Structure 1
Amino acid sequence: MDEAKIDNPAAGEGCGVCGNHGAREAHLAAHLRPLVVKIGSSTLTTSESKIDYAFLDDVARQVTRVREAGFSPIIVTSAAIACGLEALGIERRPTDMPSLQAAASVGQSALSAGYARAFAQHGITTSLVLLTRRDTADRTAYLHARDTLSRLLEMGVVPIVNENDTVSVEQIRFGDNDTLAALVACLVEAELMVILSDIDGLYDANPTKVEGAHLIECVERIDESIMGVAGDAGSVVGSGGMITKIKAARVLMAAGIPMTICLGHAPDAIVHAAFGDRIGTRFAASERPHEITPRKLWIALGDSARGALIVDDGAKNALLHRGSSLLSVGISRVEGRFNDDDIVDVKDATGHVIARGRTAFSSDEVELACGRTREELERNRLLAAFADKPVIHRDELIAFE
């Protein structure tokens, strides 16, 4: 480990908004260096799906060390349901939602107590922050969550963040804590996000099925080939797989926030990742095509996409390399049903997601206007609004490449 990195472990990698570690926005104290650590259920539990308290103790020890190096850690945790099932003496995971939410209710308390006990041994206070998509889809609530987390860090608290499984339903679920962790990292403009997983990184093929699969140590661009090597969840305990981690990395890279996936039980995994040592797979964007604002980050992660717009190569190039707005003439077709002001994905002709944004028109309107030139739109009274207004304005769009 290079001890010289302790003072500047992320040298050369910019802030999630401005690209400069020393030019934080006013809502974050200048001395804060947020570090988000996501711990998956399969990493936090034993083979019997019980909480691994010895592992929690080691996490607290590592977090104490990186705090001493100047970081302000936030932990995004899973395993509330597993913890609740353990406390309730239930051996087999239920399938009905009320039972799962009841287990989460019991487990959140037990899990929070476990973190509090582990960190108290190092004189560190923890807090519990529970979020759902309802809390982040609303812009005002999003900002309040950001301010709360920032203040907790200023007070020297280590926030323990989890999805509020007790009240979450499909419509407001993040679905996996990789997405939640990426949202938190963007909220606080983290210097780094670390995912402690049950696999030691991203491979060029599924290592459980392909002999000779190689670990990819560094990813600077997420394209179709990287998305293609992502497999399904490797554990029955967790709700996410490698694909959710790559999607989280895609947004973080656009925001200028590096991310590391590594084996959670590797010795000093958090410390090595924070200090910039070689461990797991590191995702680090080489550059950003245009300015990434906090609002665009909220669009990228604050709400789920309601549909998709398929664009031609000309529109793709304009979005990714010129920071342009999306016009109807560049749209080939529409997927799904959505209203104006909804969040939608933007895909290229192969189906690869290249951007996400807030649409100014409904799916029905876009279907009528897609592929039409400005002159054609101006001659049509029903579609005349498209001639003067883009389908997605560049201020309402985040590009992923």
Structure 2
Amino acid sequence: MMLNQDQQRDLQSRLARLRKSLHRIPELAYEELRTSDVICEQLQALNIPFIRGLGRTGVVGFITKGQRGPCIALRADMDALPITEHNTFEHVSQHVGCMHACGHDGHMAMLLGGAELISRHVDFNGTVCLIFQPAEEGHAGAKAMLDDGLLERFAIQAIAGLHNWPLLPANSFATRPGAMMASSNKFEIRLEGRGGHAAQPHTATNPIIAAAQLCLGLQTLVGVEINASESAVLTVTELQAGNGFNVIPEHVSIRGTVRAFDSLTVDRLAEAIQRLSEGVSLAFGCRARVEFQRSYPALINNPFMVDLALEAARQVFAPQHINAMAETSMAAEDFAFFGERIPSVFAFLGSARQANEPPLHSDHYDFNDAILYAGAAWFASFARTCFAAMGSAKDLGGHGNVSGQ
């Protein structure tokens, strides 16, 4: 679209080298100091000004051209996961117990590639913000950047994000209007009984028995409480109790997650967890204490922004590789915090090389470098498409996200 084939291959090769260098130095949430250094070095080489420190370790580059105009944003996440990598290639993680197992190394490289294309090949009046966001993996880095004044410093009117997706063929594109990814919520239930000797259970109140019944009951709540036409997931993921074969413990801890697209569904399940926990614990002579934490909201795509994303995709991807009604996911994304404040769109970029591709968060996962140019080109095409649309309309009024969240 903007480069000939030789130029495309050259950019992809350079982005692959950059991506592998980022893969070697993974850093956890709010520890992305060396990662930020690399990003700033790349922006500086492109003569793109930037600021550091929003959301503690975040970086925002900004490209301003032409006359005064709108401000849009493109986002990539930076953090890695606390996973020990079991790959053997040359660019394997150099930080034991830390790994780019979700492709954030590729996301950063694609956005830097998009920055190069935008700065050199896209004409517009306005500003493009390049948001390199920390702490996506469960630590709400998007919210941290917003709380730190991102929108006060930059009057962003639209934002787009992209995530590699091993469930889709490489170099395919998918998005959808409305709910695309679920909210993420955590619960912890502490059951307190009375400890004692395992040989004398009649002298104790064993919370493990109550916990066993409660775990089974929790796994039925979605079917009992939620309309079958709605979508929700409740999964028990952790059970901690006792430390001896002959000791009845005093307490048990049960943890898990609730995922849904609608906040009322989450409210109903939270109430049901409380009610069931109290009832089961009472039946077995225990006491229950429930903590329910709403972590990430559901990711809701703005329909107008989806139209722009698809128009940009048609400039990069073959028509048969574009899906305008992507399958929703019960995974969560803190890009949703941006969507609560700014008209937004999030999309999946297919990355599967083969049918049995290692999934995201696998200790054998590695980003597919073959999709780097497509991602960079889409970011640039989206910027151009968005400015054209905003230039022909006075604003995005009426197109703000309406999610009911």
Give the TM-score of the pair, scaled to structure 1: 0.28
Higher strand share: 2
Decide which structure has the larger Cα Rg and report it. 2
Give the TM-score of the pair, scaled to structure 2: 0.28
